[in-house]
Amino acid sequence: MNREISDTRYENIPYRRCGNSGLKLPAISLGLWHNFGHVNVFENSKDLIYTAFNNGITHFDLANNYGPPPGSAEEVFGKILKDDFRNYRDEMIISSKAGYTMWDGPYGDWGSKKYLVSSLDQSLKRMKLDYVDIFYHHRPDPETPLEETMNALSLIVQQGKALYVGISNYQAPEAEKAIKILKDNGTPCLIHQPKYSMFERWVENGLMDLLGNNGVGCIPFSPLAQGLLTDKYLHGIPTDSRVATSGVFLNESSLTPEKLAVISKLNDIAKSRGQKLAHMALSWILKDDRVTSVLIGASKPEQITDSIKALDNIIFSESEIKQIDEILQSA
């Protein structure tokens, strides 16, 4: 593929303000959870970054443990950044996280100040960066006082290692406490990254209202439910699909006749909207203006350009929303 930076890259995608902050994110962001590890083809990973950036996707979302092996996604991204994008660092939003197991012993997991500060130092070295734009606590720690975890995030901002901080996988009650602590510290919570899709709607039970009321952005991950919210499984299991090749996060047992019937009905609505099911699933999340951006994953460059087509139609009629809700309630 052509590896030149496009002069028209900012014409392809809208940008949304993140909560009450001064930061805007592209409506679609690229997650590096999969397809950027040492086990993946490096040149393909580079093509994915070029395709995203050339289409106005300026936000690249990582975590300390992304790979495999853990840490390798940051290393691969760091090499691509140094070799090809060093002059474009200020046009990028780069985020990382810590909260899951990263190294052996009692200091390589969860939410202590020791772990978070050490982990970010390691991430910066892997990516060859002086700072990240956003640093998240990846999941709540039931044993560490929330004050310690949030104070560590505030310290990281004060040290200049991150411009903004966020939280991920926090339920509404714990998110409310975290947001208050960060606000009191003078380092407001920029954004929350929850798992959210048509098939997983727990964020609607208080979390979205909390974020909206507090001026905190929202960037859902797994919006396609690991590929279920596409038309790829309606006629069997493709040999190159995640079910066929991995089975870790999505396996054949997920594809029950009942689930496939729901997917088929949703696909019919998408067709009536002039969309693919995957496009409609992304649009359905982005219809809520409290959502700043939605994270996609990609194994091929064309999947990125295809996902951007979801932005052509993010308006839903009351009738369409009602139909979709009825189908999902029958799941």
- 179-202 tens-digit pLDDT: 999 999 999 999 999 999 999 999
Our count of domains for the chain comes to 1
Mean pLDDT of 235-258: 62
Mean pLDDT of 211-235: 95
Q: To 10 degrees, the CA torsion angle through 191, 194, 197, 198?
A: -100
Q: Do the Cβ atoms of 36 and 73 come closer than 8 Å?
A: yes
Claim: this prediction has a pTM higher than 0.85: yes
Please report whether residue 257 resides in a domain.
no
Please report whether residue 114 resides in a domain.
yes
List the one residue out of 183, 193, 197 whose CA is nearest residue 227: 197
Please report whether residue 263 resides in a domain.
no
> Any idea what the CATH number is for the domain that residue 62 is in?
3.20.20.100
For residue 59, list its beta bridge partners.
Answer: 93
Residues of the domain holding 18: 9-227+278-315
Please report whether residue 271 resides in a domain.
no
State the average pLDDT for the chain: 95
pLDDT of residue 237: 62
Is pLDDT larger for residue 249 or for residue 198?
Answer: 198
Please report whether residue 260 resides in a domain.
no
Q: How far apart (Å, rounded) are the C-alpha atoms in residues 9 and 264? A: 35
pLDDT of residue 242: 53
Lowest mean pLDDT among 140-144, 164-168, 236-240, 243-247: 243-247
Mean pLDDT of 242-249: 52
Lowest mean pLDDT among 171-185, 246-260, 312-326: 246-260
Token pair listed for 137: 């606590």
pLDDT of 13 > 70? The answer is: yes
Please report whether residue 237 resides in a domain.
no
pLDDT of residue 56: 98
N- to C-terminal Cα separation, the chain: 41
* H or E stretch at 189: strand 189-193
pLDDT of residue 319: 98
Buried b (16+ CB within 10 A) or exposed e, 91-125: eebbbbbbbbebeeeeebbbbbeebbbbbbebbbe
pLDDT of residue 244: 46
Is pLDDT larger for residue 2 or for residue 306?
Answer: 306
Q: Is 196 exposed, middle or buried (0-12, 13-18, 19+ CB in 10 A)?
A: buried
pLDDT of residue 255: 82
pLDDT tens digits, residue range 54-83?
A: 999 999 999 999 999 999 999 999 999 999
Please report whether residue 290 resides in a domain.
yes
Q: How far apart (Å, rounded) are the C-alpha atoms in residues 92 and 107? A: 31
Please report whether residue 259 resides in a domain.
no
pLDDT of 331 > 90? The answer is: no
pLDDT of 20 > 70? The answer is: yes
